[in-house]
Amino acid sequence: QVHLVESGGGLVQAGGSLRLSCAASGRTFSSYVMGWFRQAPGKEREFVATISWNTISTRYADSVKGRFTISRDNAKNTVYLQMNSLKLEDTAVYYCAASSRGRTAVRGDEYDYWGQGTQVTVSS
């Protein structure tokens, strides 16, 4: 069992930056692939980024590539999402998720555990 808690969301102007954190409970955090997803009002949840257990492999949605960076610190049981050059369309609830499938994953159904989400609002 893995319990995930996101933090770091808030209100930011377009062009600004935020760093989201996701703290995980459990001693096996380092064995999980971690991912970030988001859901905007009236839209389906979408993949944002994922990182392998050893940080070697990362994948990003085309919409955030070059602006967002996913990282993790296994010693701290935490995964991060650094978001730069934020756009209005980045406004959403951001969720972190953990997958036991051993490879980076972009589909929500490949993840076993989810956090409660943190709101990111980008204003003009």
Q: Could you tell me the two tokens for 123?
A: 């204003």
Report the pLDDT value the prediction gives residue 61, as an integer from 0 to 100.
98
The answer to whether the CB of 17 falls within 8 A of the CB of 84 is yes
Report the pLDDT value the prediction gives residue 28, as an integer from 0 to 100.
87
Dump pLDDT digits (tens) for 1-36. 899 999 999 999 999 999 999 999 977 888 999 999
CA distance 36 to 111: 10
pLDDT at 119 over 80: yes
Tokens 């703290």 sit on residue? 23
The answer to whether the CB of 62 falls within 8 A of the CB of 52 is no
CA distance 61 to 40: 15
Report the pLDDT value the prediction gives residue 80, as an integer from 0 to 100.
98
Q: Could you tell me the two tokens for 59?
A: 């994948």
Dump pLDDT digits (tens) for 48-92. 999 999 999 999 999 999 999 999 999 999 999 999 999 999 999
Report the pLDDT value the prediction gives residue 72, as an integer from 0 to 100.
97
Q: Predicted confidence band at 120 (pLDDT cuts at 50, 70, 90)?
A: very high
Query: What are the helix (H) ranges across the chain?
Result: none
pLDDT at 102 over 90: no
Q: Could you tell me the two tokens for 29?
A: 């955090």
Q: Predicted confidence band at 101 (pLDDT cuts at 50, 70, 90)?
A: confident
